[in-house]
């Protein structure tokens, strides 16, 4: 990529960004779009704009995003969003501090050397551009100028250690403060029990669980809820809900048809057969009412049967105090470790009901199976991605697909293609993965949604590191250097380090594309806006349907965090080799932070709350990126024949030590609740029945909401008594 196409890329990206910003300013003022731009505020019952001013300045959102405190963020989007913002600001901090020293020192040192020039003199084939002159590649081998680049690694690393340590402490304190607050959270009073052994005394599961926990926790045991197989009940319930929606819709249609011309209205009809296309024609309202009554009765019978006969080997056990639940969740209960496995209960809305009943060894086998599949996918995805990135450089296209020459040689087409083709290929490719990874993570038998998302996000990170970063870096030079590789397979590390500098501009463009276009789309919410208006106009009839159409969703950490990580990793790895990338990284994370703050305050609604449990994962991946950067720099300094390159080794060891200390000091209080936190709340006993009711799955809730718990309880105990007689 030459200098002009680099500038073209930057320029077009920037123009798109400006256009999207203008769109945002213009569209967000229209009252009809409020539900798209301020759904979170509306759901919390606030005015869309502070103070209700409609004619505010176009940059008001920036001022508001800056002015908000962390407590505001927590209140509006939860601790997880606050932790995500801490992640962005930490990386931003690292890059700002690194850039402060690296830019003024390394750029002059690189620019005043002449390695490329002397290469060009001795070898007329070699080409270089003005950007290359500002990078480490322009320094002569064995030059004592390399000392500056070596020390720059130390600076970057120590800055990272400092910022990460402060952030980890901050997140840990934030988690402790919010978890030990007075608010009653059902998951604090419950534990999840799995792998209940077969009972030999002919008790029902419910009796077995009750007697076991009553014996072990005589003072604090409250109640238990045995997990049931709800497949059938769920099916009926979903059908019932479907008819309820249909009825509401038909009633609106009927009401709307009562115009002045036709005061009676037209009663809506539908066909009962496949997709409403064939079969008998019926009056929708009557038909739905009939169906609802029929299904409601069926559901009631099925609910009783489920509670009676479909009890599984897992349960939720409720305690009368938080400390009791915390202690129980961390204490080994049974002598055989694969029975009576007790863990902290997930939030009700995070619970993956189907995974609860998976057996101990089933979970283990699935877990390793999934790891195997992911490993194979990581390895074999590398082949197509390497091919894509190698093919999509324009020179290669021309070389291998000569019939494209006519199009490609056009000046304008060429520049644009050259600027965007590889990056686009990459982005499309990456968009296909998350669904697969979420599915695989769920198959592991993890009981909570938040944990599934963390697991998927971890897998996505491996993909990104191996396929995108290493894939593009090696792949870009793969076709050119295929011969070298086959000859000396051991030198793959050297090859990698060698191919870093030529790929620097690729990644600078990639970063720029991500922040200008990506953030522009994020802030302007063009896609959700269009979808909302289309739906509202053509599909939605009832209030509930309109509300569903603008439901903002959550942040989507499973893909958001890893793609930020990729940028971070790229900037880390090129920070010393080609320090010009740092300002782009700073802009990326600064803009990202600002926009994420706006979205947290106004748009997204969390679908669960894990109190920052994703932070340790983020932390260890930042450290991993740092270590990869250090190893690559070690290789690259070695290639430059710098005798003191081994001085990188203590730095790498230090990084591992840092990771180890952080892990020891902070990690366990994220995976287990410390007793301290549970005890800070010394309030009287909360309404335990409502805590219990929070865990009843919707398909098993009786119609009358006032005696949910009694009904549920009664059904179980009556039934178990009958069955044990």
| Residues found near a copy of itself in the complex (CB under 8 A) | 172-173, 176, 215-216, 219, 323, 326-328, 330-338, 360-361, 364, 661, 664-669, 672-677, 679
**Nearest approach, Cβ of 343 to a copy of itself (angstroms)?**
13
The residue among 174 and 464 lying less far from a copy of itself, judged by its C-beta, is 174
In 3D space, the residue among 410, 229, 367 whose CA is nearest the CA of residue 310 turns out to be 229
The residue among 267 and 668 lying less far from a copy of itself, judged by its C-beta, is 668
Residues 142, 101, 90, 425, Cα dihedral to 10°: -50
What's phi and psi for 269, nearest 5 deg? Answer: -115, 165
The residue among 330 and 481 lying less far from a copy of itself, judged by its C-beta, is 330
Helices and strands (H, E) in the chain, number of each type: 33, 6
The residue among 341 and 481 lying less far from a copy of itself, judged by its C-beta, is 341
Q: Which residues of 323-348 are buried (b: 16+ CB within 10 A; e: fewer)?
A: bbbbbbbbeebeeeeeebbbbbbbbb
**Nearest approach, Cβ of 215 to a copy of itself (angstroms)?**
6
For 220-248, what is the HEC assignment?
Answer: CEEEEEEEECCHHHHHHHHHHHHHHHHHH
**Nearest approach, Cβ of 322 to a copy of itself (angstroms)?**
12
**Nearest approach, Cβ of 695 to a copy of itself (angstroms)?**
23
The residue among 13 and 673 lying less far from a copy of itself, judged by its C-beta, is 673
**Nearest approach, Cβ of 291 to a copy of itself (angstroms)?**
49
**Nearest approach, Cβ of 361 to a copy of itself (angstroms)?**
8
**Nearest approach, Cβ of 217 to a copy of itself (angstroms)?**
8
Contact indicator for 192, 342 with CB cutoff of 8 Å:
yes
What gap in Å lies between CA 244 and CA 485, rounded to an integer? 64
**Nearest approach, Cβ of 243 to a copy of itself (angstroms)?**
47
Tokens of 558: 């499973």
The residue among 365 and 383 lying less far from a copy of itself, judged by its C-beta, is 365
**Nearest approach, Cβ of 692 to a copy of itself (angstroms)?**
23
Tokens of 504: 């620097």
The residue among 42 and 176 lying less far from a copy of itself, judged by its C-beta, is 176
What's phi and psi for 341, nearest 5 deg? Answer: -70, 120
What gap in Å lies between CA 97 and CA 435, rounded to an integer? 37
Contact indicator for 568, 279 with CB cutoff of 8 Å:
no
Beta bridge partners of 281: 271
The residue among 174 and 568 lying less far from a copy of itself, judged by its C-beta, is 174
The residue among 179 and 246 lying less far from a copy of itself, judged by its C-beta, is 179
What gap in Å lies between CA 103 and CA 148, rounded to an integer? 12
**Nearest approach, Cβ of 683 to a copy of itself (angstroms)?**
15
The residue among 278 and 336 lying less far from a copy of itself, judged by its C-beta, is 336
Contact indicator for 312, 208 with CB cutoff of 8 Å:
no
Contact indicator for 194, 205 with CB cutoff of 8 Å:
no
- The DSSP annotation for 362-426 comes to HHHHHHHHHHHHHHHHHHHHHHHHHHHHHHTSHHHHHHH-GGGHHHHTSHHHHHHHHHHHHHHHH
The residue among 15 and 337 lying less far from a copy of itself, judged by its C-beta, is 337
**Nearest approach, Cβ of 335 to a copy of itself (angstroms)?**
5
**Nearest approach, Cβ of 196 to a copy of itself (angstroms)?**
14
Contact indicator for 633, 648 with CB cutoff of 8 Å:
yes
What gap in Å lies between CA 193 and CA 327, rounded to an integer? 14
The residue among 28 and 180 lying less far from a copy of itself, judged by its C-beta, is 180
Contact indicator for 229, 235 with CB cutoff of 8 Å:
no
**Nearest approach, Cβ of 674 to a copy of itself (angstroms)?**
5
In sign, the C-alpha dihedral spanning 669, 675, 679, 681 is: positive
Contact indicator for 375, 721 with CB cutoff of 8 Å:
no
The residue among 501 and 674 lying less far from a copy of itself, judged by its C-beta, is 674
How many C-beta atoms lie closer than 10 Å to residue 674's C-beta?
A: 15
How many C-beta atoms lie closer than 10 Å to residue 76's C-beta?
A: 22
């Amino acid at each position: 990529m030459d200098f002009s196409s680099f500038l073209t890329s930057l320029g077009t990206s920037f123009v798109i960004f400006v256009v999207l910003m203008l769109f945002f300013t213009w569209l967000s003022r229209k009252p009809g779009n409020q539900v798209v731009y301020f759904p979170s505020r509306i759901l919390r019952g606030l005015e869309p704009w502070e103070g209700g001013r409609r004619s505010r300045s176009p940059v008001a959102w920036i001022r508001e995003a800056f002015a908000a405190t962390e407590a505001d963020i927590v209140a509006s989007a939860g601790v997880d969003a606050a932790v995500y913002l801490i992640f962005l600001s930490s990386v931003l901090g690292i890059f700002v501090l690194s850039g402060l020293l690296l830019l003024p020192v390394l750029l002059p040192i690189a620019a005043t050397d002449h390695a490329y020039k002397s290469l060009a003199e001795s070898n007329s084939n070699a080409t270089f551009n003005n950007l290359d002159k500002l990078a480490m590649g322009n320094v002569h081998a064995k030059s004592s100028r390399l000392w500056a680049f070596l020390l720059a690694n130390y600076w970057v690393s120590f800055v990272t250690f400092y910022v990460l340590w402060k952030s980890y402490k901050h997140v840990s304190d934030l988690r402790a403060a919010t978890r030990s607050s007075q608010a009653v959270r059902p998951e604090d009073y419950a534990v999840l029990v799995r792998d209940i052994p077969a009972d030999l005394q002919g008790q029902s599961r419910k009796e077995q669980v009750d007697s076991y926990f009553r014996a072990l926790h005589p003072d604090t045991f409250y109640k238990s809820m045995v997990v049931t197989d709800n497949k059938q009940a769920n099916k009926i319930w979903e059908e019932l809900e479907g008819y309820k929606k249909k009825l509401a819709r038909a009633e609106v249609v009927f009401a709307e048809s009562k115009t002045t011309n036709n005061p009676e209205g037209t009663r809506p009809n539908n066909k009962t057969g496949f997709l409403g296309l064939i079969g008998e024609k019926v009056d929708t309202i009557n038909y739905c009412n009939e169906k609802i009554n029929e299904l409601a009765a069926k559901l009631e019978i099925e609910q009783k049967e489920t509670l009676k006969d479909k009890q599984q080997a897992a349960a939720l056990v409720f305690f009368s105090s938080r400390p009791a639940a915390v202690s129980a969740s961390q204490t080994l209960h049974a002598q055989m470790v694969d029975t009576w496995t007790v863990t902290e209960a997930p939030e009700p809305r995070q619970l993956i009901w189907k995974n609860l009943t998976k057996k101990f060894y089933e979970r283990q086998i699935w877990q390793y199976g999934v790891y195997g599949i992911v490993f194979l996918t990581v390895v074999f995805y590398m082949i197509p991605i390497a091919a894509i990135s190698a093919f999509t450089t324009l020179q290669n296209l021309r070389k291998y697909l000569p019939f494209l020459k006519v199009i490609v040689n056009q000046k304008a087409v060429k520049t644009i293609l050259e600027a965007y083709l590889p990056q686009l290929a990459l982005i499309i490719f990456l968009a296909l993965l998350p669904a697969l990874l979420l599915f695989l993570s769920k198959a592991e038998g993890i009981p909570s949604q938040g944990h599934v998302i963390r697991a998927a996000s971890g897998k996505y990170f491996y993909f990104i590191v191996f396929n995108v970063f290493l894939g593009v870096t090696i792949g870009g030079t793969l076709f050119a250097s295929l011969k070298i590789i086959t000859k000396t397979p051991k030198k793959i590390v050297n090859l990698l380090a060698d191919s870093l500098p030529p790929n620097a501009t690729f990644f600078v463009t990639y970063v720029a594309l991500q922040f200008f276009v990506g953030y522009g789309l994020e802030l302007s919410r063009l896609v959700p806006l269009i979808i909302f208006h289309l739906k509202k106009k053509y599909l939605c009839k009832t209030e509930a349907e309109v509300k569903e159409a603008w439901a903002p969703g959550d942040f989507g950490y499973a893909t958001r965090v890893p793609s930020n990580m990729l940028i971070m990793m790229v900037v880390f790895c090129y920070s010393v080799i080609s320090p010009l990338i740092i300002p782009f990284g700073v802009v990326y994370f600064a803009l990202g932070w600002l926009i994420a703050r706006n979205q947290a305050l106004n748009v997204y609604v969390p679908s669960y709350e894990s109190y920052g449990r994703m932070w340790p994962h983020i932390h260890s991946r930042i450290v991993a990126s740092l270590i990869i950067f250090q190893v690559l720099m070690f290789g690259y300094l070695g290639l430059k024949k710098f005798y003191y390159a081994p001085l990188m080794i203590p730095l790498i060891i230090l990084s591992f030590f840092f990771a180890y200390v952080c892990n020891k000091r902070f990690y366990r209080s994220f995976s287990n609740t410390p007793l301290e936190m549970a005890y800070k709340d010394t309030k009287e006993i909360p309404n335990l029945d409502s805590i219990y009711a929070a865990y009843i799955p919707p398909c098993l809730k009786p119609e009358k909401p006032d005696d949910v718990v009694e009904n549920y309880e009664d059904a179980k105990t009556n039934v178990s008594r009958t069955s044990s007689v």
